[in-house]
Structure 1
Amino acid sequence: MPVGDDRLVGLIRDGLPAGDTIGVALSGGGDSTALLHLCLRAGLRVEAVTVDHQLRIESAAEAASVAEACRAIGVRHELRVWEHGAVTGNLMDAARRARKALIGDWARSRGIGVIALGHTRDDQAETVLMGLARGAGLAGLSGMRPAWEGGGFRFRRPLLSAGREELRVWLRSEGIGWIDDPTNDNDRFTRVKARKALAALAPLGITVDRLAEVAGHLARAQASLVAQAVTAARRHVAEQAGALRFDAGLWTEPGEVQRQVVLAGLMWLTKAGYPPRAAETERLMLALSRGQDATLAGCRARAGWLMREPRAVGDPVAVGGLWDGRWRVTGPQGEVRALGAEGLRQVKDWRMTALPREVLVVTPGVWQGEILLAAPLAGHPGAWQAELDAPFHLFGLVD
């Protein structure tokens, strides 16, 4: 029996459904390469997708070598490229968002409903350490989820209890190569700093295994808290036109329940990978509870509503694409971008919706140049429809 084969294949069989085609997010690194080959060893039907972020000169050649490796073992593979200009702000977060969108588009085009990711126990420990650095609450310290649903897909991390080196030992025993990404050693990135900090903390007993164990304990406590938060959200939060309205009853709930609901709202609105810092979340909660104005993480609080901030909404997309990471507009051709103040001026009956102006200006409009063709959420749908990628009560709190 090859090194670790029985245990690792068992993790795959326990973590992924046998009857579905599994979409493997394949970077070519050791973790995702092991995931692909272990899926094949487990007898699963798989397809793979690689995202070239175009952030390094070598990335195109590396993606081509991944495609060739898949061809050699008979796995259908596609390459998706992140077309971008200068990236401002948090590069890794922007790349993560782009990767998620490109993988989702690929899976949708292939009719694939299950996407497998190659995160390991080491990633789990690093996530907990990064959460500590941000002053995260219980949710942020519970680590990565092994399974969740979003955007019409089931995401799975079947190797979350496997170690990074354990996977590389298995790959070496099988004679399978992988690509080492030099950015994994670049101190510019927070996760790399966390990885190196873990090595320094090991003499104190703060190891990958120990932090992953702590994450498991906290995840169980988080699950109990989430059950309370789900009940509170159903009672006190209403979703309208892609924004959230909080009633006064939420602020009578236990403080941590309030926090969980607000965090779920922020994560739903922004699709961010990480929650904001605890102090910033507290500031936003106070504003919401008092009906005051505040902004945080691309969201805006106003008069008890939480909505997208106008300057933070996504770039234009063609009708049929996913706009702002949340909205899919269907209908005839056109460009989808924020309705904005100018678009709202072109909808004379928007007040009939009884929705605040601030909510409507960040909903999708369909445009042809500067001509507004439709405003589906503002009472001017025309031949277009706009639907959310995931309703609030199906996102964050309950997946």
Structure 2
Amino acid sequence: MEAAEPVGQQGFDAIMTELGPWPGQGIPVAVAVSGGADSMALAILARRWRADVIALVVDHGLRAESRTEAEQTVARLSMLGIQARLLTLEGLERGSRMAERARRMRYQALFAACRDLGALDLLVAHHAGDQAETVMMRGRASSGQDGLAGMALALPVTDVRLVRPLLAFTKSALYATVRAAGVTWVEDPSNANLRTERARARQVLRQDAVLGGSLFAQARQAGQARMAQDRDAALWLAQHARFHPGGWVVLPAGLAPPRILSALIGVVGGRDYPPRRDAVAGLVHAPRAATLAGVVIVPWRDGQWLLAREEAAMAPCVSAGAGAVWDRRFVLRARHVPKDMYIGAAGPVARWWPAGQGRSGWPACVLRTLPALWHDGRVMAVPHMGLCMHDGIADAFFVNQPSHPAFSGALFGRRTALPVGAGQ
């Protein structure tokens, strides 16, 4: 690895100022710390920038040494004057897509800890090399211009903002930062496992610094374009789309521009990845009833269209409890839920709609997909329709909270030039 100067505190502080505003004293800023050099450098810089930072250390349990390494990391952070909390992942099993599942569980644990602490922001240590690797992998996957924007500097995620203040700095600069601070770190051997796509991309970029710089610059340019497109998309949605809290969307006669329609299908279907671009383009060219990526597209009144969840693709029932998530979209809010209740799709309307009460006006294909509280094989409540047949859950309701919004408002570029010494 090439020699580099440590990250300058003044340059880091300038980035944090641009990524503000930040909460006042008493509301901490959380830092995700794996124990590696990158995240330890971030913790050091963040602690110098602000006193009330709290490090979150996740023990993923995938290696025998992980617990010891996590505890060592907490001890090292304590010596730096940084308060740390150790989080343990439970239920992570080996098998297919393990890295993806581990990543999802890790972020779920980090976000939950932020909510518990009252932290509004979570800092993560992705750097310029990570950005170049991401753009390379997305380019190979033909992910389109949005994907080539790489990782955002700041990304609102539900009720926490994910912030990546180190994207302008090289890994060698971060190593130099921890060495200058006299801090040791953990080296995860899985980072060098060439069976993973990211490790292979890292190997290529290690041998071609010019390519890494080119990919980083490409990400900045694509990011600026993506922010402009997102602003236009948000304006189009405000003018033309109607969102129902039950999880469906009403669109005008021409559906929506392809990029917007793709994003909406992802939100309604509760999926992380967009549908095939050619399939979306075909629908926009010739609007018609269709099923795509867990979403049904059906004609509605006055030439309008409904985007609704595909009933056959919905998640199975889950146990009911305050905060329970069903179908990756709906969160149950309630002071108390009686035992043995569960959450599932409302199902055939005739089985739960009160006799003699006029219908809502919405088609059965969307009413069947509403989240409902069940007990002993019977629907007890469909809160979105104001129906409740059990006194113990009269206050229960569901919040439509997909894993990501149609357009996140992510920040992909800074307003000023990169700081002196930033890695490319």
**1:283 and 2:279 correspond:** yes
8 Å CA contact retained: 2:153, 2:165: yes
Using CA pairs below 8 Å that are at least 6 residues apart, which structure has the higher relative contact order?
2
Which position in structure 1 is the counterpart of 2:329? 326
**1:5 and 2:4 correspond:** no
Which position in structure 2 is the counterpart of 1:396? 407
Q: Helix, strand or coil: the match of 2:106?
A: helix
8 Å CA contact retained: 1:329, 1:336: no
Kindly provide the amino acid, as one letter, of the partner of residue 347 in structure 1: W
Which structure has the highest helix share of the two?
1
In the alignment, structure 2 segments of 5+ residues that lack a partner are 299-305, 389-393, 411-424
Change (3 A) 1:345 1:169: farther
Change (3 A) 1:239 1:89: farther
CA RMSD of aligned residues (A): 3.1
The correspondence of residues 204-243 of structure 1 with structure 2, limited to 5 A, is 205-207=210-212, 209-240=213-244, 241-243=246-248
**1:171 and 2:188 correspond:** no
What is the alpha-carbon distance in structure 2 between the residues aligned to residue 161 and residue 146 of structure 1?
Answer: 10
- CA drift of 1:198 comes to 2.4
Change (3 A) 1:83 1:353: farther
Which position in structure 2 is the counterpart of 1:254? none
Change (3 A) 1:145 1:294: same
The correspondence of residues 1-399 of structure 1 with structure 2, limited to 5 A, is 3-6=6-9, 7-15=11-19, 17=22, 19=24, 20-84=27-91, 86=93, 89-199=96-206, 202=208, 205-207=210-212, 209-240=213-244, 241-251=246-256, 258-269=257-268, 275-276=273-274, 280-287=276-283, 290-296=287-293, 299-303=294-298, 304-307=306-309, 310-311=312-313, 313=315, 316=318, 318-323=320-325, 324-331=327-334, 332-334=336-338, 337-339=343-345, 341=347, 346-349=351-354, 352-368=359-375, 370-381=377-388, 382-389=394-401, 395-399=406-410
Kindly provide the amino acid, as one letter, of the partner of residue 321 in structure 1: G
8 Å CA contact retained: 2:255, 2:261: no
Change (3 A) 1:105 1:217: same
Change (3 A) 1:354 1:83: farther
In the alignment, structure 1 segments of 5+ residues that lack a partner are 252-257
8 Å CA contact retained: 1:28, 1:63: yes
**102-111 vs 317-326, greater mean Cα deviation:** 317-326
Change (3 A) 1:101 1:337: farther
What is the alpha-carbon distance in structure 2 between the residues aligned to residue 110 and residue 222 of structure 1?
Answer: 32
Identity of aligned residues (%): 23
Q: What TM-score, normalized by structure 1, do the two folds share?
A: 0.83
